[in-house]
Chains A and B, each alone.
Chain A
Amino acid sequence: MELTNYLNAMRDASGVPFYPVVFQFFLVLTFALHIMFVNFLLGGVVVSIWARIKATPNSLRLSKALARGSTINASLAMVLGVAPLLFVQVIYDPFWYTANSMSAYWAMAFLLILAVAFTASYVFYLSGSDKAPGASGWAVLALVALLAAAAVIHALSVEQLLPQMWKTWLISGQEVNASGKGLYAFEWHRFLHFIAPSIAMAGVYLMLYAWFFNGRKDYDRAYLQETATLGANLALYATAAQIAIGLWWLFSVPMEFAFYKNPFFLVGAGMGAAFFLFLMTARANPIKNAPVAALIAFLSIFLMSYAREALRMTYTGKVGYNIFDYKLSLDWGSTVLFLGTFVMGIVVMAYPILVAVQVAKNGKESNNEGLAKLATALPVVWFLVVAGLGIVISLKNGTLF
């Protein structure tokens, strides 16, 4: 059985319930959102350690704010990570399942390591006083664990890109290794290319923080200015480093891929460069420029995520795999269910977020009566519609009684 046959034979017999390009789009979009919060989390922990150790009143205050933010970023990063995890299994299942099965203990360890990281970041936040977070050792533990988790998931991803190596890794002589203990691939440049942006994104995060609380009486101006300037500098220098690492990675991609000519890559890289140039000028007034910086940063991440996907398509295309010829078993019903729920979710979410922003900025909420009513009613309506559908179908199929 040769590799291409294996890959295509392992594709799920059920096919995919909608056009692969749609799954691919959601895969990239949700991955970009996920990695952005991972960056906020990782970078935030780094800065909070530094600020905790520096131990001036302002830096302790910042450290505390970041520690609290880390717990929220952790939750968001995790829940946002679920979606790309789901979609990758839809269109790249032969790669995903093979790599995970080969390194099964690592896939399990990944979660255990994350549990350590999250616990440590909670302890760091909760064990402190009003003015400072807990001992920096906790944050260091969280950082080490987060990096370890990143390394594992990185290795699992690279294993997927090298299917021609799989047999070499698993088979030696007459033995097939079924221990699940091996971790087989690691690429420093690629790994660093995911880690370095954390510092840049922590910079953006600090700028946003200063922008957000700017004008509130309990936040003094000098503190916010100092924070935003720190943020802009971090973002600028880390982005410069990121560009260098990106070039290093680019040259390590097999030349035959001609990836430097790939339009997805060019657009993504262009956006990254634009971010760098913008930061050069934005440094003069980092508080005011924060929202635009955040927007450009997210666009760079999103486009780079598309470039990452284009690279995956190139790698998998080399071994005769193409997501666009996946067997299609169109299912409109469930597709509409998701898309409708997705849009509804955005509307519902807008309400609590709006309230939170109003409270944080002005100390009190404004009048949101219309949105409030809509947001509280929609989940109930959702349930009534789905339950109604369920009852009709159950009666039709005779499964209710």
Chain B
Amino acid sequence: MSYFVDENGYYGQFGGAYIPEMLYPNVEELRQNYLKIMQEDSFKKEFDELLKEYVGRPTPLYFAKRLSEKYNTKIYLKREDLCHTGAHKVNNTIGQILMAKRLGKNRIIAETGAGQHGVATATVCALMGLECIVYMGEIDIARQAPNVARMKMLGATVIPALSGSRTLKDATNEAIRDWINNPVDTHYIIGSVVGPHPYPDMVARFQSVISEEIKWQLKEKEGKENPDYVIACVGGGSNAAGAFYHYLDDKEVGLIAVEAAGLGVDSGESAATSVLGNEGVIHGSKTLLMQTKDGQIIEPYSISAGLDYPGVGPLHAHLCESKRAEFISITDDEAMNAGLELCELEGIIPAIESSHALAVFNSKKFKKDDVVVLNLSGRGDKDLNTYIKYFKL
């Protein structure tokens, strides 16, 4: 079985490009060019250089000694939180801005939930001098105010999505509508491994630098490239796709994808797509999604804006259905406490998204000599208000 995209844009039964004809020329242009462009020497050189000099890669693979002692196993943290702008999202936006330039586009649009992808997009647009418009749900604008301010300082225009539930799903709808309205000069930088083919594959390739580094870093530290487990949180699934990428075919490496259970998977306030979802079409992709029996998309809930999405990327739907990855759901409370624990044990304040991944150590037991790599996708600065409220700090 292959875990990589096939020539028609599918991962097993999931993926494809379920887009209105209005988007066909844009998506087709990207599909025909993305691999060619990514393989050009000049592209690779510019991408690698920016990741090194601007983003600060390679990010450390840090052996978390006290956390390891507490859970009686060997835990390494892949420090994506140390990337410029504070999360893995920038790996993808650097790649896509270079792609947009080579496609001759001069106007950039993006959607954002937590604001991390919006900030990462605004950042690369400032870097390249391109116009940047970010769609963000009205509710997320209120709960992620610092990131809205950052985007504005970086020169982006932030447009509130006022339709539907006014969160990430609706911001994505608005970005897609913008692209329909501006089919020639605009590139849409999608923030995760979602959307129509070739986006899931392109974004996964840009993020795959994470597992590429883990391999040689682990070799240096443990004398072997393969850990026993890789753990990552899944909103749309881009940091997980990046952390899993070079291990997909190595069956001895266990892949653990962590979803947000919100108030509990059966509470009606959850974002645990692998448990609550079934096959459907969202944002141009056939995948697992949370929906009513009638096929209307259900509004998810999580304390973490970055995991508050009713679907997962088609790669993850395939990893879930084929059981290549184990999916675990973590509640708001479990995540918040795991986040605080990392602060206390390691002096690292994680993003609440990443805290969901950390909480796995409380629900799954690892062996003493297991080597477990956890992708720490982002830092917690953006979440201070939520942490303050939750812990009454």
Partners in one complex: no
By a beta-carbon cutoff of 8 Å, the part of chain A in contact with chain B is none
